[in-house]
Structure 1
Amino acid sequence: MGQMKTPGVYIVEKSAFPNSVVEVATAVPAFIGHTEKAVNGGKSLAGKAWRITSMAEFHSFFGGAPFPKFTLAEAQGGGAEAATPPPAEGGEAGAAEPAADGGSAPAAMDFTFNDKAYTLDQSEGHYILYNCMRLFFQNGGGPCYIVSVGDYKAAVEADRFKKGIEELIKEQEPTMVVVPEAVLLEDADCTGVQQAALQHCGGKMRNRVAILDVYDGYRDRQDPAGDCIDQFRNALGINYLDFAAAYYPWVDTSIVQDKELGYESISNADMVKTLISEELGLDGDSGGDKGGDAGGEDPKKAQLKEALEKMTDPSLADDEKELLNKTLVQVSPLFKTMCKELKAKLNRLPPSAAMAGIYTMVDNARGVWKAPANVSLNAVIAPSVNITHDDQEDLNVPTSGKSINAIRSFIGEGVLCWGARTLDGNSLDWRYINVRRTMIMLEESIRLASKAYVFEPNDANTWVTVKSMISNFLTGIWKRGGLAGAVPSDAFSVHVGLGETMTPEDILEGILRVTVLVAVSRPAEFIEITFQQQMQKS
């Protein structure tokens, strides 16, 4: 208090306890991609980071799903000779056979019909952020940020994603950066976006990590197009690898349902109508003279023909379209096969969004210090590539150090995340993603709490207060299992003071140095159990 000049009684209140450190949020991902809209009331949210907490809020601010369209075409070099499809039973028209996995059919073939191979290639609506957001919330996702870089008419360009990443500099809360649509770019552009994310996380902000997808990660490493893992490692570089984790392979999900697809999903409906007519035998003679004993055209065929004609009628109401889709699925195995292929294509997604949800779920249930691994993925049917124990050796412990976390399927357990390493796998300090994220949480929490002591007197009283504040916080983290040690003194130590962390010159320059040592808990990645026989004792 100020100098006392007037006689009287003065009350002095003195703080007995140091400030408390508030633990910062650890599971707040920021997603960057294309959305249907970006509006809050009448205000545009395009290119801005906006916080949401549920899929309902996503719909409110950013709209719904894109409407994908596919083009049906006969496979180049297709046919019975090139595709070698299984013959139709009895040689009857209309027996549609899907492509057999691992068969001798060309990779471009999606299904065969009457000894001809056909493909379904997506031509419109190729944006995956919406389905990735659904996958995120299915796997335990919570509060997150969305940066909309364009609508469903905008071109997918690397510069848009990089500007979206730069926008996150203004936000302090996000702890993860996820750009799932980067895999829609060319491979070099995708690498450029991922490097920009690494630069943002490890170079500029240093308080968040990037979750990366392997480009073409749905391919096997023995694919004729090349080893996607080697290409990913070679292209990414070596900067800020301890601020990122990558996952392989992509996952086949159950996000997109049958009701979201239909005949409108195929742009060239005339070709679909022709094939279904051929399958159902509707393209032949109409049934003879209408005045004959046959009674004219078969009523059932007439109804099917009428239904097929409606496929090109743009004036149908939504309920009529739904009824038509149900009719086509029931009467045409070929159309059902087409819809199955469309759903499989749309449901194959990169795993970064699912892993962001897993991070959130594990953080909320156990804490950021628990490795986000040995956890099952929801809404995931299977990984696109089946990885064995031997296959994972080079993924987990490569000579380059760029560890890739595997997503594997185990009998009786489902699809699990089976890795918890950063891309800096050779570093003993930052090998594990939970160690990096725990340190980020500790650093940010203590940094924000210590701002209250900026410009305070740089003397013993302040040093003791700061030390007590940090020690109390770390004791609470140790009790919850975040730090390793039988007693607090084994788990951490805080050092501050003249002659200990500061010199007289530091004090003259206004510098208060605090050194914090912590023993962060690490995952038991390898468990070795030794068995040995002993002599019989009784």
Structure 2
Amino acid sequence: MPQYLAPGVYVEEVPSAIKPIAGAGTSTAGFVGVVDDTVTMPLLPGRSGLKTDGTPEPADFATPALAGVAQLVDGWETFRNLFGDIQPGNSTLAHAVYGFFNNGGGRCWVTRVAPGEDADRTDASLIAALETFTVIDEIALVAIPGAVSDAVQGAILDHCENPYLQDRFAILDGRRTTVLTKAAIQGGTRDSSYGAIYYPWIDVGAEDADGNPVYQPPSGHLAGVYARVDTERGVHKAPANEVIRGALGLETLVGRQGQAGLNPDGIDVIRRFDGSVTVWGARTMAGAAQPEWRYISSRRLFNFLRESVDEGTRWAVFEPNAPELWSKIRRNVGAFLTTVWSSGALLGNTPEQAFYVRCDETVNPEAVREAGQLVVEIGVALVRPAEFVVFRISQWAGGVQ
């Protein structure tokens, strides 16, 4: 405390008890994919590819970014400079990242792997590359476009469910099949509330040497749709009933009857309406055992709340565990949740109906405090999507109702 000796007026700065909690990011994606070492790279600015004597320059500046190292990509041109354009050896990943930015994505991290000698070794490299995302806190969406093996998809779900993370969501590609069953599309990949799987693959205009469409996995484009919806509406809005930009058609057309057999099993179908390729599913892979996490928006909103509170209350670690601290936490978390409620993400006509924050002696008895713990109990009423809109129509004889 300052010591005052001369008479006068003194003004002191007092730290505010209000420490605003900022909402965590939800739309940065992490992509892993195969890029061959021999892909043609664009020339760097100011370079001709030739030395002054006309001989080729060394190739070290014209090779893709180092395999197994995550690279920040903030636009399509950045991706091209790091990994090369859409071409053989870099087709699937490049199409996915292009689709991400074209559909509204703004930032992503990309880790490339070199092709393995066989499918099993390539899968092992893809799985190992997921580890590069562990230390990148901003990643909220994870995809390995085109990887449909049980091993790789299970590893993506494991990554998103990691108890030290649990702030990211997996976007998986369904198997390429015309059999409309969960077993055919999801294969042996386990159920999880931390991921969604999409079917079928999409036509983005790519063709083979004979002019036939080369269908692409939808996960990269879907990550862009997620980012677009997050920006325009918020993470509480289901990323569905949204047009996939750049998608010209579908490998398999699915109607209402076909989707009726897939939707209850958590297979999110992409359908064609009036010429537009549209995301027409909003469910996670949670399965019947976890009905509270049936919808993508519920899981991702909960991830957002958990990450935001985690990051916004770190200042409380090692503070004196007493009623003054409890009051500050209730005030700060309550102010954040009020903002979330006012955005339409929580159900209730008032904040009191939408959430509660409990941090007092009832949840922090002496035994808890002696263990060095501070317990905060939060309850939120999530808004769920109107998946089935039902109109009841009947004949009316007219007159006064």
Q: Taking structure 2 as the reference length, what is the TM-score of the superposition? A: 0.86
1:496 maps to which residue? 359
How far apart are the structure 1 equivalents of 2:20 and 2:62?
Answer: 39
Matching residue's letter, 2:150: T
Structure 2 residue 267 is the aligned partner of structure 1 residue 246: no
1:235 maps to which residue? 188
| Distance change in 2, residues 1:514/1:41 (3 Å) | farther
How far apart are the structure 2 equivalents of 1:40 and 1:469?
Answer: 50
Kindly report which structure 2 residues correspond to 1:142-161, keeping only aligned pairs within 5 A, or say none: 142-150=106-114, 157-161=122-126
Gaps of 5+ in 2: 42-59
How far apart are the structure 2 equivalents of 1:19 and 1:380?
Answer: 44
Structure 2 residue 173 is the aligned partner of structure 1 residue 173: no
Q: Is the 8 A contact 2:64 2:84 kept in 1?
A: no
Q: Is the 8 A contact 1:177 1:211 kept in 2?
A: yes
How far apart are the structure 2 equivalents of 1:380 and 1:479?
Answer: 35
Structure 2 residue 162 is the aligned partner of structure 1 residue 203: yes
| DSSP-derived class of the 1:452 partner | helix
Q: Is the 8 A contact 1:478 1:484 kept in 2?
A: yes
| DSSP-derived class of the 2:236 partner | coil
| DSSP-derived class of the 2:111 partner | strand
CA positional deviation for 1:425:
3.9
Matching residue's letter, 2:155: A
| Distance change in 2, residues 1:361/1:32 (3 Å) | same
| DSSP-derived class of the 1:181 partner | coil
| DSSP-derived class of the 2:162 partner | helix
| DSSP-derived class of the 1:473 partner | helix
1:24 maps to which residue? 24
Identify the match of residue 56 of structure 1 among 77, 98, 122.
77
Over the aligned positions, Cα root-mean-square deviation in angstroms equals: 2.5
Q: Is the 8 A contact 2:31 2:143 kept in 1?
A: yes
2:302 maps to which residue? 439
CA positional deviation for 1:214:
1.3
| DSSP-derived class of the 1:527 partner | coil
Identify the match of residue 219 of structure 2 among 341, 352, 364.
352
CA-to-aligned-CA distance 1:296-351 (integer Å, 9 cap, x gap): xxxxxxxxxxxxxxxxxxxxxxxxxxxxxxxxxxxxxxxxxx3x22xx12xx1011
CA positional deviation for 1:131:
1.6
1:508 maps to which residue? 370
How far apart are the structure 1 equivalents of 2:29 and 2:20?
Answer: 26
CA-to-aligned-CA distance 1:165-206 (integer Å, 9 cap, x gap): 1221121110011001314xxxxxx11010011111013421
CA positional deviation for 1:51:
1.2
The structure with the larger Rg is 1
How far apart are the structure 2 equivalents of 1:244 and 1:526?
Answer: 22
Q: Is the 8 A contact 2:174 2:198 kept in 1?
A: yes
| Distance change in 2, residues 1:361/1:154 (3 Å) | farther
Identify the match of residue 473 of structure 1 among 317, 321, 336.
336
How far apart are the structure 2 equivalents of 1:231 and 1:525?
Answer: 24
Q: Is the 8 A contact 2:175 2:186 kept in 1?
A: no
| DSSP-derived class of the 2:262 partner | helix
| DSSP-derived class of the 2:269 partner | strand
Kindly report which structure 2 residues correspond to 1:274-285, keeping only aligned pairs within 5 A, or say none: none
| DSSP-derived class of the 1:57 partner | helix
CA-to-aligned-CA distance 1:363-417 (integer Å, 9 cap, x gap): 111111100000111111111111111111121113xxxx10000112x251110
Kindly report which structure 2 residues correspond to 1:381-420, keeping only aligned pairs within 5 A, or say none: 381-398=248-265, 403-410=266-273, 412=274, 414-420=276-282
| DSSP-derived class of the 2:126 partner | helix
Q: Is the 8 A contact 2:84 2:90 kept in 1?
A: no
CA positional deviation for 1:537:
2.2
How far apart are the structure 2 equivalents of 1:41 and 1:429?
Answer: 50
Matching residue's letter, 2:188: A
1:213 maps to which residue? 173
CA positional deviation for 1:533:
3.3
CA positional deviation for 1:141:
1.8
| Distance change in 2, residues 1:454/1:164 (3 Å) | same
Gaps of 5+ in 1: 68-124, 184-189, 266-337
CA-to-aligned-CA distance 1:211-246 (integer Å, 9 cap, x gap): 111122xx3117xxxx6x3144451134xx000000
CA positional deviation for 1:18:
1.1
Structure 2 residue 258 is the aligned partner of structure 1 residue 380: no
CA positional deviation for 1:44:
5.7
Q: Aligned residues: percent identity? A: 30
Point out the structure with the larger helix share: 1
| DSSP-derived class of the 1:180 partner | coil
Identify the match of residue 533 of structure 1 among 388, 395, 398.
395
Matching residue's letter, 1:48: V
| DSSP-derived class of the 1:146 partner | strand
How far apart are the structure 2 equivalents of 1:245 and 1:253?
Answer: 21
Count of matched residue pairs: 373
| DSSP-derived class of the 1:236 partner | coil
Q: Is the 8 A contact 2:33 2:111 kept in 1?
A: yes
Q: Is the 8 A contact 2:35 2:90 kept in 1?
A: no
| DSSP-derived class of the 1:380 partner | coil
CA positional deviation for 1:133:
1.4
Structure 2 residue 66 is the aligned partner of structure 1 residue 45: yes
Identify the match of residue 286 of structure 2 among 406, 424, 449.
424
How far apart are the structure 1 equivalents of 2:64 and 2:252?
Answer: 44
Q: Is the 8 A contact 1:135 1:353 kept in 2?
A: yes
1:456 maps to which residue? 319
CA positional deviation for 1:36:
5.2
CA positional deviation for 1:477:
1.1
How far apart are the structure 2 equivalents of 1:165 and 1:363?
Answer: 24
Kindly report which structure 2 residues correspond to 1:74-89, keeping only aligned pairs within 5 A, or say none: none
Structure 2 residue 384 is the aligned partner of structure 1 residue 522: yes
How far apart are the structure 2 equivalents of 1:452 and 1:497?
Answer: 18
How far apart are the structure 2 equivalents of 1:42 and 1:357?
Answer: 27
